[in-house]
Structure 1
Amino acid sequence: MKRLVTILTATVLAASLAACGSSEPGGAGETKTIRVADTWDAGHPMAAAIDEVFKKEIEEASDGALLVDVHHGGTLGNEADLWDGVRNGTLEVAVVGTPMNKEFSKMLISDWPFLYRDLEHAQAVWTGEIADELSAEFHEQFPSTYLLGWGPNSARTFTSSKPLESVDDFQGQKFRMPGNPIHIGLAENLGASAQVIPLGELFTALETGVVDGQDNGMVTVISQSLHEVQDYLLETNHIIATLELVVSAPFMDDLSEEHQQIVRDAARKTSEEAWSNYIANVDKDRAFLEEQGVTVTSLSEADRQKMIDRIEPLTKKLLEDNEWAEDLTSRIREVK
């Protein structure tokens, strides 16, 4: 009888261990959760691709062994918080811009002005060979992370509560700009003044007249309801910025090779899908803003060249300050 009990106990224990998953890290049968965080609402093309591609691809390809828990809208912190979380291993995956550009100056390429012929050119760059090269360099610079995908942030435009239909209209206006030298230099070179204000405080700053305008993509103008306090949009597309899908290296390395490949494949598909959806929705975004009463003006070729000429002090300084810049920008412009 005692032998029978012992055998039954051993059998139950073995079954329990099997149900709990493999003891080997990343092994078959072990369920792992990948938390993904960003600062965008679910309607942003990159956020939507995380939901519709990254999450689904990983969970389906891993047969549920990997679960993806998505947190949009800055619910886990601002961009700097998310970057620190992935870098320190307290967060598995983050979608961020370039809060690390002071440590790794090549990330300034994401905000380089007038670098692309059009959105399709930007898509070709950031889903191709150059993206792969910079991702490898990123890991060398930040060994505790992997950069798995370059998605679209937006093609940045300028909006204002004051007339803004040509390059000459910038003179004397006050613009909220992101806190990096490229954006601040842009505003100043165009004859405007720049003020750094967090995105979460931007609507109120525009509503109360602290600043006249700002620069963001139309998708952000809509998602942040900025069209409610702005009357003019100049579609300059002066910067086509990227968002980076970054994963914690210790977490990634702990996965099986099969699961690592699943995550990498899903990240690539996510980037490709986000670019395609973003490009497809630009015309819809423009039409929506016009329906809301915003005067939308496309930048003429003459004004585009005038804008490039006026920001020459900025671009000249960028080239002088960054030894990698001339070669990398030339290679990007040559991408077909």
Structure 2
Amino acid sequence: MKMKALLFSTLASALVLTGCGGGNDAATEEGGSQAGAKTIKIANYFAADHSQNVALEEVFKPMVEEQSEGRLKVEIYENNQLGDEAAFTDGVRNGTIEMVIAGMGLQANNAKIGVTEWPYLLEDYDHANEILNGPIGEEIAAEFEEFNVKPLGYTANGFRVVSADEELRTLEDFKGFRLRMPNVPIFLEVGEALGANVQALGMSEVFTALEQGVINGQENPYASLVNSSWYEVQSHVLETNHMFSPNIYLMNMNFWDSLDPELQEIVEQASEETAQYQWELAVQSDDEMKEYLTEQGLEIIVLSEEERQQFVDAMDPVYEKLFEKHDWAEELVNRIREQ
């Protein structure tokens, strides 16, 4: 995918990276020349040329390795190399993996973690950034600590759209449509509210399922649609923007506690700068991704305000259920909508 690599390379060169430089690589304790060096293995499910990994390679890794003067080494394991999201999330909790870029999958154990993914709640990237990087975001991030992880910053996966092997435009079109969604309750409920035949599959299974017609489509941000090459077996995109998906840097709490205050500060600052850089890449990439998909022959359907409102209204039963189930939910949703 030369085009995708060029895209992110172009975006990266246009932004000034602070605190980044060519440091000396540290070696691990097992096989290295520098005794006491610690390795931070970072696992994620994104393709190597996705903005998440571009940001890690161009900001986090050099910043941490240089500023720690070789006391920390960073190894990046993209594209499910250390297992799918459930596996590497378990790994960061139990300490077999030092750090991950996770979605909000832990909301299955603590619903408050996933509130920013609730349908049609965040309006645009500016609103999402303001919420996640403000007091509400801090309040939600604190919920992760019960799982033995240290939250280090939010990144932008993006607003989710529906790709399909046929034209979709109305709720009626979703009847009988086999739609892949993550195996997370809020996603499944949103898919059902759309009227789709929801299929829960892992990210690594999506391409084959699309190619073989097991599913008709999937929903994810534009970057995932392009970087995972799903567009090769799809013909249409419906720009629903029905949910915003953030990601979060999580570090094993025991590993975090093993770092001295100076190293903690280095990791924290690098996480902040990397997250902000990735956010900028994600925002800039959407238009480029749409243009690329159009060039590949996909038709992108943008809803009118009236058409979009039908989708918004279809989520009322989802919110009624959430408000009934969680006594904190309505107040928190109102705070987010008012900000």
TM-score range, shorter chain: 0.7 to 0.9
TM-score using structure 2 length = 0.86
Gaps in structure 2 of 5+ consecutive residues: 1-25, 28-33
Decide which moves more: 288-297 or 53-62: 53-62
Matched with 2:260 is: 256
Secondary structure of 1:33's counterpart equals strand
Letter in 2 for 1:210: V
User: What is the distance in 2 between the residues matched to 1:185 and 1:102?
Assistant: 13
**In structure 1, the residue corresponding to 2:160 is in which secondary structure?**
strand
Tell me which residue corresponds to 2:324: 320
Deviation at 1:47, TM superposition (A): 2.0
Matched, 1:202 2:173: no
Counterpart in the other structure of 1:17: none
Contact 2:156 2:279 in 1 (8 A): yes
Partner of 1:296: 300
- State the distance in 2 between where 1:308 and 1:109 align: 16
Q: How many residues align?
A: 308
What is the match of residue 89 of structure 1? 95
User: Which structure's CA Rg is the greater one?
Assistant: 1
Give the Cα separation in 2 of the matches to 1:333 and 1:298: 23
Equivalent residue number for residue 72 of structure 1: 78
Q: Sequence identity, in percent?
A: 37
Structural mapping, 1:233-312, within 5 Å: 233-312=237-316
TM-score normalized with structure 1 length: 0.87
- After superposition, the C-alpha distances for 1:211-268 in whole angstroms (9 at most, x for unaligned) are 2111111111111211111111011111110111100111111111011011111111
1:100 partner SS: helix
Q: Tell me how far apart the structure 1 counterparts of residues 49 and 130 of structure 2 sit (CA, whole Å).
A: 23
User: 1:29, CA displacement in angstroms?
Assistant: 8.0
C-alpha distance in 1 between matches for 2:162 and 2:142: 33
Letter in 1 for 2:129: Q
Q: 1:117 aligns with which of 115, 123, 129?
A: 123
Q: Distance in 2 between matches of 1:182 and 1:253?
A: 33
- Long gaps (5+) in structure 1: 1-19, 22-27
1:67-216 map, 5 Å: 67-139=73-145, 141-142=146-147, 144-216=148-220
Matched, 1:57 2:63: yes
Cα deviations by residue, 1:38-81 (Å, 9 ceiling, x for unpaired): 11112222222111121122112212221111111111111111
Q: How far apart, in 2, do the equivalents of 1:191 and 1:39 lie?
A: 28
Give, as a single letter, the amino acid of the residue that structure 2 aligns with 1:278: A
Task: Look up the equivalent residue of 2:177 and give its one-letter code.
Answer: Q
SS in 2 for 1:101: helix
